């Protein structure tokens, strides 16, 4: 036994040594595990294919199976039940890893007759193949259509089946890449492949078998031609890259339930579904080309990822409507996806400012005090959000007795250049005037199928609902509520009228739509006094879970959305009965698009009323919802794991085509600590939707609660407001041509394997890289700066410094902005920050030019500008393109205006900063469009950093009659200096701590792999500070500031990280030993 243990240990050491030798241990902790898992996948496949030969009944390798009984835990499956389902039972397989009961390869459909090229094919179910969840429908139709030479659409359907009525544009974004679809019966069953024409790479191959098409169970499985997958949601994960090394199911069925983002263990993420539904993923192929797959279905559904690698998609209704996007870049994939489902709405400029909210303000005065405290701390802020507390007994379109002066407060806020948004729930009290108005207007509500299903005891309580089929549930009001059916035109008209009448009382600026999954309290439960005590008197909604009417609420297969909760929560849990009727069909089919219909109706109402771009946020969402609203991530927790999960989530939602997105900063549920809130405010400054919010049961957490958090927020918000012109331009581009604003690092560095594993850092467009602090007590962060780029720091202490590339520890004390970098080759527009976006918009423009490498390649950028809220279709905007170039004798900056002449009140461009200029400028030679211009007295040059700053009043007038302006000056080559302007790249065996302080020195600490300090050096430098981040943060006693001149904290952190990783290795050894002992038994 001792010899065996030694063999296992030596093998483990060699294996981990191989992984480390390939450089993967440089990733952050969660990403390390992700990379190791991928190598485990490769090793496991090799082991399975060479040693674990199939047994007599095991005709399919364990890593390539299609689970026959996915609703049953692997340890509860027995031979009899498996074989009675027509499946193959494997007694000896490792049930922790693989399904013991699986479908034979020869399961699915066969082609009936021949088909002409391009026409549909009729498929018939194999007569001897069973479907455990209902008889396969036969015949069914298969069709493939290439949409204008780009997107490939494959449909597997049967006439009369439900399809969601989305009214999407179905446009295309062509890149020259195309897919072909080949069909085959070579395995005895019909299969198809989706093949990339340019490389012959197969991205989808259904020859794995397992296709089922019953009335309430549809399944399709396919090998995926991708080494990595991203997307599938909405859920809460700790890593961006999805795991393909094991069988893992992701449910998609919006649920009114805060998703606890705590990992199940060190390796796995919590797989509970959240509020939105996005059956879409991006795959990265072996040659690093990207493709995307969307399965457009609104029923309860799930995707099981498996180590084939393959995917198994299941849904309980509708059809299979698949779209394949050829990329070839990930950004192209999102553009192709958005061309199909519709481009997002550009949010109003003011909505990019900081927003403050809390559920539980006792009255208006409490809310006003919270907002005033933030403003008095000189923290830039734009929006105060009133949650449902402002209502009278939580009833829509009412004002409570403690909020009667809300209209006056809104006017005060407007006078100060600020805004107010209000919450709305899709629940209408059954005894309210609003309900009566709706019925008189012919508005529709979700109803029971038949009158005999209506619970008479509940319905008879309300005169307006009595003798109707309207389904009554429990919302926040003190009486039962009805749920509008927003899919009808009359409901939309009534809703718009209610919003208009309420807006005339309270001239609010935007609406936040919550509880729109739709959410219902205590479905199928008992009377219970929860946070709303009067709920104890209300009879809960009971759905038919047994009997003849249970086919929708207790279908043969209920998806992982139910099974993950130990089979105790049916599909109707926390929502309405699945048999509830809308004008588009039962809620069983339409629940996932309920919020889409509500946002459409709300967008129609606000656009017609205000004649401006509406500001709408929705908690639940579905592909194409972003055409009408942004999305916040719903309730989260005041924990570090929720902070980390939010970084992944905002990148996921960008992949799903939702550019305006953010999490509740500092957490919705629980009391946030001072340090957590400080770090979260620093991170939240880089969400596109930035709001601090929590609930009534938690302690107040607005940033003014702690001096240190107030200072950190002030600094971070000033940085955000400084760069809002750049962010606004990114969002405009997404609104007109698609793509992403917040984007994963690999979107820009698709051939960089390390970038493909980055989860905890992200980018604003192509030009800015953000590296948040994600761990408690951390005074530095482990960052990856992609090697195929030039990076400059934007933090105050090392502003303009060219950074090392690769993996490195970067100092991140509490008193500094988190690390932010600008990428060489880009020009970023900005404005000096004010305390509101209204103030900022009046300040002069600036451009930051960052040259790539030695300045031999030009830099470029754009600026979009309008009044901040006009409808884009009115074309009251203008665009400018910037370019900068360095020749051996001349530096030139060119500005071109695209579009009509702009209004005269647009600010001038007063400042130009240049990073990476290795020449000595001769400012006296400056010319503008060939005419001399005086800039000598307002220009500086820091030769040690290669930074040029030109700051002159009214330097360039963007409303000039000249459609093009060219600013030039001569230069000479700057002689080499001894100042370390180009830190050396990080080697695989060492890590560099870039420790930046407000003093005039830069400290570099070199660490050995064990984290022990080897040497430290200090090089003097003259700091060029960014005025937007000049605020310093005063440390508090509860969170001591650690001087970055002292390398000890960094060393301690490295040792802690090293020990943590060793502990993970030890855990893996224990698991391996456990599996070995079980094998012996």
| pLDDT, tens digit, 9 for 90 and up, residues 708-718 | 999 999 999 99
Contact criterion met (CB below 8 Å) for 931 and 889: no
First to last CA, the chain: 14
- Single pTM value for the model: 0.87
Residue-level pLDDT at 1016: 33
pLDDT digits (tens, 9 = 90+) for 174-220: 999 999 999 998 878 999 999 999 999 999 999 999 999 999 999 99
Instruction: Return the pLDDT at 188.
Output: 85
Share of the chain above pLDDT 90, in %: 77
Burial label, 718 (beta-carbon count in 10 A; 0-12, 13-18, 19+): buried
No. of helices (H) and no. of strands (E), the chain? 19, 53
Mean pLDDT of 670-675: 98
Q: Encoding tokens for residue 55?
A: 């047994």
| CATH 2.60.40.1760 domain span(s) along the chain | 109-341
Residue 967: pLDDT over 80: yes
Residue 1003 has pLDDT above 50, yes or no: no
Q: Determine the Cα–Cα distance for residues 675 and 643; give it in Å rounded to an integer.
A: 12
617 near 691, Cβ under 8 Å?
A: no
CB 675 within 8 A of CB 1039: yes
| Model pLDDT for residues 96-122, shown as the tens digit of each residue | 999 999 999 989 999 998 765 567 899
Assigned superfamily of 109-341: glycosyl hydrolase (family 31) (2.60.40.1760)
Nearest partner of 256 among 268, 273, 280, judged by Cα: 273
Tell me: pLDDT of 1064 over 60: no
Give 211-276 as a 3 state SS string.
CEEECCEEEEEEEECCCEEEEEEEECCCCCECCCCCCEEEEECCCCCCCCCCCCCCCCCCCCEEEE
* Token pair of 424 as six digits: 């709305």
Q: What is the pLDDT of residue 57?
A: 40
What distances in angstroms separate CA 653 from CA 65, 292, 338, 625, 760, one per listed residue?
Answer: 30, 14, 13, 12, 15
Question: What integer pLDDT is reported at residue 14 of this predicted model?
Answer: 44
Q: How confident is the model at residue 1014 (pLDDT cuts 50, 70, 90)?
A: very low
pLDDT tens per residue, range 588-625 = 999 999 999 999 999 999 999 999 999 999 999 999 99
Place of tokens 């390398």: 1047
Residue from 911, 821, 991 nearest 26 by CA: 991
Six-digit token pair at 262? Answer: 């705590």
Helical packing angle, 674-684 and 640-655, nearest 10°: 20
| Overall average pLDDT of the 19-24 stretch | 38
CATH 2.60.40.1180 residue ranges in the chain? 844-973
What is the Cα–Cα distance from 755 to 750, expressed in whole angstroms?
A: 7
Say which CATH superfamily domain 844-973 falls into. Golgi alpha-mannosidase II (2.60.40.1180)
Q: pLDDT at residue 1046 above 50?
A: no
When pLDDT is averaged across residues 460-479 and rounded to a whole number, the result is 97
DSSP 484: B
In this predicted model, what pLDDT tens digit does every residue of 494-542 receive, in sequence order? 999 999 999 999 999 999 999 999 999 999 987 766 666 677 789 999 9
Q: What's the pLDDT score for residue 1074? A: 54
pLDDT tens, position by position, 741-794: 999 999 999 999 999 999 999 999 999 999 999 999 999 999 999 999 999 999
Residue 316's nearest CA partner among 305, 303, 301, 304 is 301
- Provide the pLDDT for residue 148: 81
pLDDT band for position 24 (cuts 50, 70, 90):
very low
Q: Distance between CA atoms of 632 and 514, rounded to whole angstroms?
A: 10
Give the 3-state secondary structure of residue 1056: helix
């Amino acid at each position: 036994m001792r010899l065996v243990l030694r063999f296992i240990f030596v093998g483990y050491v060699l294996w981990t040594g191989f992984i480390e030798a390939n450089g993967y241990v440089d990733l952050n902790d969660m990403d390390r595990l992700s990379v190791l898992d991928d190598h485990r996948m490769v090793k496991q496949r090799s082991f399975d294919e060479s040693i674990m030969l199939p047994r007599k009944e095991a005709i399919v390798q364990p890593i390539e199976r299609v689970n026959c009984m996915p609703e049953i835990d692997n340890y509860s499956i027995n031979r009899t039940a498996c074989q009675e389902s027509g499946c193959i039972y494997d007694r000896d397989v490792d049930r922790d890893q693989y399904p013991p009961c699986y479908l034979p390869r020869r399961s699915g459909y066969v082609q009936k007759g021949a088909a002409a090229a391009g026409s549909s094919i009729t498929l018939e179910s194999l007569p001897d193949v069973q479907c455990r969840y209902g008889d396969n429908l036969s015949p069914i139709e298969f069709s493939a259509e290439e949409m204008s030479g780009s997107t490939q659409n494959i449909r597997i359907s049967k006439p009369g089946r439900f399809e969601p009525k989305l009214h999407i544009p179905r446009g295309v974004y062509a890149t020259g890449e195309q897919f072909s679809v080949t069909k085959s019966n070579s395995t005895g069953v019909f299969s198809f492949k989706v093949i990339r024409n340019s490389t012959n790479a197969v991205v989808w191959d259904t020859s794995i078998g397992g296709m089922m098409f019953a009335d309430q169970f549809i399944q399709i499985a396919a090998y995926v031609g991708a080494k990595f997958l991203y997307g599938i949601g909405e859920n809460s994960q700790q890593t961006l890259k999805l795991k393909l090394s094991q069988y893992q199911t992701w449910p998609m069925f919006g649920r009114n339930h805060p998703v606890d983002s705590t990992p199940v263990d060190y390796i796995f993420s919590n797989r509970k579904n959240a509020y939105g539904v996005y059956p879409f993923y991006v795959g990265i192929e072996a040659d690093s080309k990207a493709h995307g797959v969307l399965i457009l279905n609104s029923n309860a559904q799930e995707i099981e990822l498996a180590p084939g690698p393959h995917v198994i998609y299941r849904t309980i209704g509708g059809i299979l409507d698949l779209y394949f996007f050829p990329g070839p870049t990930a950004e192209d994939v999102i553009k192709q996806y958005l061309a199909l489902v519709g481009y997002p709405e550009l949010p109003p400029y003011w909505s990019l400012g900081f927003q403050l909210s809390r559920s539980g303000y006792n009255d208006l005065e409490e809310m006003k005090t919270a907002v005033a405290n933030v403003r008095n701390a000189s923290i830039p802020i734009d929006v105060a959000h009133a949650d449902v507390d402002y209502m009278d007994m939580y009833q829509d379109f009412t004002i409570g007795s403690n909020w009667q002066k809300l209209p006056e407060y809104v006017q005060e806020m407007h006078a100060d250049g600020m805004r107010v948004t209000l919450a709305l729930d899709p629940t209408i009290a059954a005894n309210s005037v609003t309900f009566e108005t709706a019925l008189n207007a012919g508005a529709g509500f979700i109803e029971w199928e038949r009158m005999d299903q209506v619970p008479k005891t509940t319905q008879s309580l309300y005169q307006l609902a009595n003798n109707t089929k309207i389904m009554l549930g429990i919302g926040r009001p003190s009486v039962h509520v009805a749920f509008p059916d927003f899919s009808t035109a009359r409901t939309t008209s009534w809703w718009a009228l209610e919003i208009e009448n309420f807006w005339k009382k309270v001239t609010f600026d935007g609406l936040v739509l919550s509880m729109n999954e739709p959410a219902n309290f205590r479905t199928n439960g008992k009377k219970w006094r929860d946070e709303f005590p009067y709920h104890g008197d209300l009879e809960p909604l009971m759905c038919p879970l047994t009997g003849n009417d249970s086919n929708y609420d207790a279908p043969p297969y209920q998806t992982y959305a139910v099974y993950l909760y130990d089979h105790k929560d049916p599909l109707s849990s926390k929502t309405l009965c699945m048999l509830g009727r809308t004008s588009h069909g039962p809620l069983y089919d339409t629940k996932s698009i309920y919020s889409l219909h509500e946002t459409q109706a709300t967008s129609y109402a606000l656009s017609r009323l205000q004649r401006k771009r509406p500001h709408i946020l929705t908690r639940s969402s579905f592909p194409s919802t972003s055409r009408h609203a942004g999305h916040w991530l719903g309730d989260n927790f005041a924990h570090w794991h929720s902070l980390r999960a939010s970084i992944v989530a905002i990148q996921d939602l960008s992949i799903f085509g939702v550019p305006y997105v953010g999490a509740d900063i500092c957490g919705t549920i629980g009391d946030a600590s001072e340090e957590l809130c400080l770090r979260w405010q620093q991170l939240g400054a880089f969400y596109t939707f930035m709001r601090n919010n929590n609930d009534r049961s938690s302690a107040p957490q607005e940033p003014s609660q702690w001096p240190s958090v107030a200072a950190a927020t002030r600094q971070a918000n000033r940085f955000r407001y400084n760069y809002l012109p750049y962010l606004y331009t990114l969002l405009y581009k997404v609104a007109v041509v698609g793509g992403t604003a917040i984007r994963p690092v690999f979107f820009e560095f698709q051939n960089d394997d390390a970038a493909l594993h980055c989860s905890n850092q992200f980018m604003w467009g192509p030009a800015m890289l953000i590296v948040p602090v994600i761990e408690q007590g951390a005074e530095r962060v482990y960052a990856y700066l992609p090697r195929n780029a030039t990076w400059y720091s934007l933090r105050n202490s090392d502003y303009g410094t060219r950074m090392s590339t690769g993996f490195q520890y970067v100092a991140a004390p509490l008193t500094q902005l988190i690390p932010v970098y600008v990428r060489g080759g880009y020009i970023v527009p900005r404005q000096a920050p004010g305390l509101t976006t209204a103030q900022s918009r009046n300040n002069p423009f600036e451009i930051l030019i960052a040259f790539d490498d030695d300045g031999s390649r030009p830099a470029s950028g754009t600026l979009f500008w309008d009044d901040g809220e006009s409808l884009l279709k009115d074309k009251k905007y203008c665009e400018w393109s910037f370019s900068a170039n360095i020749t051996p004798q001349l530096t030139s900056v060119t500005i071109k205006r695209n579009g009509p002449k702009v209004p005269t009140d647009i600010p001038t461009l007063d400042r130009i900063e240049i990073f990476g200029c290795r020449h000595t400028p001769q400012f006296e030679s400056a010319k503008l469009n060939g005419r001399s211009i005086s800039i000598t007295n307002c220009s500086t040059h820091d030769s040690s950093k290669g930074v040029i700053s030109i700051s002159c009043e009214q330097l360039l007038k963007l409303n000039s009659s000249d459609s093009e302006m060219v600013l030039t000056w001569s230069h000479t080559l700057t002689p080499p200096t001894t100042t370390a302007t180009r830190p050396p790249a990080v080697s695989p065996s060492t890590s560099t701590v870039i420790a930046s302080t407000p003093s005039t020195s830069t400290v570099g600490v070199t660490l050995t792999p064990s984290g022990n300090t080897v040497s430290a050096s200090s090089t003097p430098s003259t700091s060029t500070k960014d005025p937007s981040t000049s605020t310093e943060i005063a440390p508090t006693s509860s969170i001591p500031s650690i001087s970055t001149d002292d390398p000890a904290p960094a060393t301690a952190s490295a040792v802690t990280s090293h020990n943590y990783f060793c502990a993970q290795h030890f855990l893996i050894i224990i698991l391996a030993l456990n599996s070995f002992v079980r094998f012996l038994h």
